[in-house]
Copies of this chain bind each other. A is one copy, B any other.
Amino acid sequence: MHAPTFAIRPLPDVLVDALQSRFGAQFSTALAVREHHGRDESAFSVPPPAAVVFAQSTADVADAVKLAASHAVPIIPFGVGSSLEGHLLAVQGGISLDVARMNAILSINADDLTVTVQPGVTRKQLNEAIKHTGLFFPIDPGADASIGGMCATRASGTNAVRYGTMRENVLALEVVTARGDTIRTGTRAKKSSAGYDLTRLMVGSEGTLGVVTEVTLKIYPLPEAISAAICSFPSIEAAVRTTIQVIQLGVPIARVELIDANTVRMVNAYAKLGLREEPMLLMEFHGSPTGVKEQAELVQEIASDHGGQAFEWASTPEERTRLWTARHNAYFAAVQSRPGCKAISTDTCVPISRLADCLLDSVAEADASGIPYFLVGHVGDGNFHFGYLIDPDSAEEREKAEALNHALVTRALALDGTCSGEHGIGLHKMDFLVTEAGDGAVAMMRAIKQALDPLNILNPGKIFRL
């Protein structure tokens, strides 16, 4: 990784005046506000944006983009600030466009299993809002991220093994283009062959091709039966081999998450869960009561073959919440285990048959490095995260962590995997993207960017260098 370079474009006074006049109290240049919008969960330190606009409507977004365009000034959409890869950082200066106030649920079409929301709605808010319908939205990155941000990074999470990622679950978007035009990328039809797939082009484009102002999502009937279990294993390898077999047999498991012994210790300390401090799989089964029972029995058998023991089952929502607390608190528990640290997260994803090859050597390398780390994984998808917990002021630790990440990504790419399963490229993985996709594919991305944003104002300096 290179440290980000800054070539800050100035915010002309005339633009400040125009923004002030158009947005009044929705506009701020106060340092505290700017600093809040100049940080995310990445380990980078970059000067804050020059100003912040708090959009409350698509018209606000369109006008902010038009004003930015009129002076070729960067504009960076901002949701809740939970990016892990520096997506929100104003490496070329400009305006942070905070869409958190655009948090209306616009329509719930329970009969069609779709919902349309503004981008500032968070995933938990969405699930709260649709609870009465008996439906739910499965995608759950660790943070309570905004739906707009989840579109931007093509997020996924623990349920992706069964329900897919944002790639599969965004049906249509409203987007403000780099010229400030408002377009729709699709309809509520479940499938379509009508022209280029602008929806999927926008999903994962990290705010560089347009600003998402409405999102239509698929939602799902809450399963008739849900059962969750944790199971401890004698080694990470045993847990991983169990997962591989479950997936290869086509078990429609809803969640299968790995937590290593080290991370269980951190979570126990953070949330007093009293879990066995051994490598662990957290699993969840969705279906009819008999379907869930069948799946659970089969998985239990596979786990036993690999030395899995101490199965603990949870069928009530409260018991399930307790088990899942371990997984959902892993990141924060880990970061708190070393006060003042920053986590450098890895995000490789490999074909399931390569998972053990990719993971086990990387564990050995991390252990040998002496850098504290956590390890969790959406292992059913072949995706896992190391979080190397570094002292952000120690160049040596940062270098060691990046060397570990580099070795891991190199290994994953050699195994036909990707450098990023769900966090995006941002600032952090630009070099990896070139290695993974090749110059020709990155050139194609760049050509698309230049065609859709010729002034390079939409979150510039991310994904690739222009």
Contacts and interface: CB of A to CB of B under 8 A. Distances in A.
Interface of A: 109, 111-114, 153-156, 160, 164-165, 167-168, 177, 181-198, 200-201, 203-205, 209, 220-221, 223, 244, 247-250, 287-288, 290-291, 294, 347, 349-354, 381-383, 413, 416-425, 429, 432-433, 436-438, 440-442, 444-445, 447-448, 450-452, 463-464
Contacts of A425: 193-195
Nearest to A155: B193
28 contacts: A113-B248, A156-B191, A181-B440, A183-B437, A183-B441, A186-B418, A187-B418, A189-B349, A189-B416, A189-B421, A190-B349, A190-B382, A191-B381, A191-B383, A192-B420, A193-B422, A193-B425, A194-B425, A195-B464, A196-B444, A197-B201, A197-B203, A198-B445, A290-B290, A290-B294, A444-B452, A448-B448, A451-B451
A396 B186 CA distance: 34
Contacts of A437: 183-185, 194-195
Given A197-B203, A221-B250, A433-B195, A183 B444 contact: yes
Nearest to A464: B195
B221 A441 contact: no
B198 A441 contact: yes
A421 B193 contact: yes
Contact of A351 (B114, B156, B247): B114
Contact of A153 (B190, B193, B347): B193
B436 A187 contact: yes
B444 A188 contact: no
B112 A352 contact: yes
